[in-house]
Amino acid sequence: DDAASRYLSKNPLSFEQHNRARQSMPGGNTRTVLYCEPFPITIAEGDGAYIRTLDGHEYVDFLGEYTAGLYGHSEPIIIDAAKKALDGGIVLGGHTQLEQQLAELLCDRFPSLERVRFTNSGTEANLMAMSLARATTGRNKILVFHGAYHGGVFVFAGGGSPINAPFEFVLGQYNDIESTLELVREHASDLAAIVVEPMMGAGGCIPAKAEFLQGLQDAATDAGALFIFDEVMTSRLAPGGLQELLDITPDLTVLGKYIGGGFSFGAFGGASRLMDHFDPHKPGSFPHAGTFNNNILTMSAGYAGMSRVFTSEASRELNQRGENLRHRLNEICKAAGVPMQFTGRGSMMTVHMREGEIHSPKDAAQANSDLRELFFLDLIDAGVWLARRGMINVSLPMRDAEFDKLCAAVEEFVSVRKPLL
Ligand code: PLP
């Protein structure tokens, strides 16, 4: 329709770029999530809360690199820290003070972390946490949830993925404690871990009920399995992550995204009785390698960001602003009387084209996906960049002007598209 044809006519250079990229990368793509029909727009640069495309259009960046873009594009403290680190050499091949500083800060901030180890991505960190659970319990099964996302080889939406890591997964229903407890009972003697996002991120910003998480923790403990929080996205929702807000301390926590200051990052950590299996002092300790685990850009930018920019106070403030924004957006939907809502917590939210409570990906799947596609196209036409799946993330450089722009675009959408909604 009109929205699709405007997309084509506004982005001729991105189209050309896409065709060129297809010559060397399958589908012109190296991150599946960034592909879309008929072709994805090429980003040229970013500044503060804004991005500009190859075709010269400017957008408020509400995609925020799927939560990794918390600091925006040009936070001076991050840039200074990275530059200073670069001045001291790039690949040092040894322990540095930088990695100890970041590790110490993370252990101070996140209640479950007594010890932590770094990786290059959240995917890799989940792989390590699940492998640690298998090695310490001597069991093979991992309980995860339908619709969850724990990385490129841990996709549990739809029918899963043929290239998922070959763990023995058992799939539960998110926020449904009764059926999950049944699964735990059925598999108890083989269960190595329960892995859960305390709010589903990619699955649609669906918060877990506190009783659900508490029930999972009790069941894991009773079964002798580890309870693992994947806080790759949710760690930004409070100074000590959602675990602090919910007052639940998992055995292991997986981190990622913004914590590296915008550079590639992953980490897993938890109780020292578990993590000390990686202590090389100890006979029979587990190996854990990774050339870039302690790379100086991630370590320096991560430490500068968490210690001087995204302080506990800044975390609380950002998430309060996100909470206010989500309420404002929901008021717009309510006032227009359209079946549409924004779920989430704090600085993360996702639009769903339906009314009624959403507690699981199954609930979310009842919404109209064509309308969500139209929402995406209309919003980018209005200068608002967001995830195609309807996810919106608030970043630190955003102020009222950016929030007003988003709200105006949503108001326009609900009034113009009301007959379709
Ligand atoms: N876990 C969750 C909850 C995520 O949202 C993601 C990424 O979106 C990952 C793990 C994987 O992290 P990465 O993309 O750094 O491999």
For every residue of 354-372, DSSP letters joined together read S-S---SHHHHHTS-HHHH
**Is residue 209 located within the same domain as residue 357?**
no
- Residue showing tokens 């990385």: 151
Distance of CA 123 to the CA centre of its chain: 11
User: Which tokens hold the place of 246?
Assistant: 């919910």
Q: Is the CB of 204 under 6 A from ligand 1?
A: no
Q: Is the CB of 253 under 6 A from ligand 1?
A: no
Total number of domains constituting the chain: 2
**Digit-coded pLDDT (tens) for 318-343:** 999 999 999 999 999 999 999 999 99
User: What's the pLDDT at 14?
Assistant: 98
**Is residue 29 located within the same domain as residue 143?**
no
Q: Is the CB of 123 under 6 A from ligand 1?
A: yes
**Is residue 200 located within the same domain as residue 303?**
yes
Mean pLDDT of 182-202: 98
Q: pLDDT band for position 282 (50/70/90)? A: very high
Say how many Å lie between the CA of residue 12 and the centre of ligand 1: 32
Mutate to test the pocket of ligand 1, among 232, 236, 298, 348 (most ligand atoms within 8 A of CB): 232
**Is residue 239 located within the same domain as residue 364?**
no
> Taking Cα atoms as reference points, which of 203, 147, 230 lies closest to residue 348?
203
User: What's the pLDDT at 414?
Assistant: 97
Out of 260, 275, 309, pick the residue that ends a domain: 309
Q: Quickly list H helices, 88-161.
A: 97-109, 122-137
**Is residue 131 located within the same domain as residue 177?**
yes
For every residue of 53-99, DSSP letters joined together read ETTS-EEEE-SGGGGTTTT-S--HHHHHHHHHHHHT-S---S--HHH
**Is residue 203 located within the same domain as residue 108?**
yes
**Is residue 37 located within the same domain as residue 115?**
no
pLDDT exceeds 90 at position 2: no
**Size of the chain in residues:** 421
User: What's the pLDDT at 159?
Assistant: 87
**Digit-coded pLDDT (tens) for 135-160:** 999 999 999 999 999 999 999 998 89
The CA-based angle 51-76-296, given to 5 degrees, is 100
- Mark 215-242 as b/e (b = at least 16 C-beta within 10 Å): bbbebbeebebbbbbbbbbbbbbbbbbb
Burial of 313 (0-12, 13-18, 19+ CB in 10 A): exposed
User: Which tokens hold the place of 175?
Assistant: 């926020």
User: What's the pLDDT at 283?
Assistant: 95
Average the pLDDT over each of 6-10, 171-175, 178-182 and give the range with the smallest value.
Answer: 6-10
pLDDT exceeds 80 at position 367: yes
**Is residue 82 located within the same domain as residue 143?**
yes
> Taking Cα atoms as reference points, which of 187, 185, 186, 182 lies closest to residue 167?
187
Q: What ipTM was predicted for this assembly?
A: 0.99
Look up the CATH number of the domain holding residue 363: 3.90.1150.10
**Is residue 296 located within the same domain as residue 353?**
no
User: What's the pLDDT at 317?
Assistant: 98
Per the omega criterion (within 30 degrees of 0), is the bond before 162 cis?
A: no
Average pLDDT of the chain, as a whole number: 97
Out of 267, 293, 309, pick the residue that ends a domain: 309
Q: Containing domain of residue 212, as a range? A: 76-309
Look up the CATH number of the domain holding residue 224: 3.40.640.10
Q: Which atom of ligand 1 is nearest to the CA of 231?
A: 3
pLDDT exceeds 90 at position 1: no
User: What's the pLDDT at 347?
Assistant: 98
The sign one gets for the Cα dihedral 362, 367, 370, 376 is negative
**Is residue 162 located within the same domain as residue 238?**
yes
Out of 276, 291, 309, pick the residue that ends a domain: 309
Say how many Å lie between the CA of residue 266 and the centre of ligand 1: 9
**Is residue 326 located within the same domain as residue 384?**
yes
- Residue showing tokens 């949830």: 145
**Digit-coded pLDDT (tens) for 94-149:** 999 999 999 999 999 999 999 999 999 999 999 999 999 999 999 999 999 999 99
Q: Is the CB of 197 under 6 A from ligand 1?
A: yes
The CA-based angle 350-394-264, given to 5 degrees, is 100
Q: Is the CB of 121 under 6 A from ligand 1?
A: yes
User: What's the pLDDT at 223?
Assistant: 98
Mean pLDDT of 182-193: 98
**Is residue 287 located within the same domain as residue 407?**
no
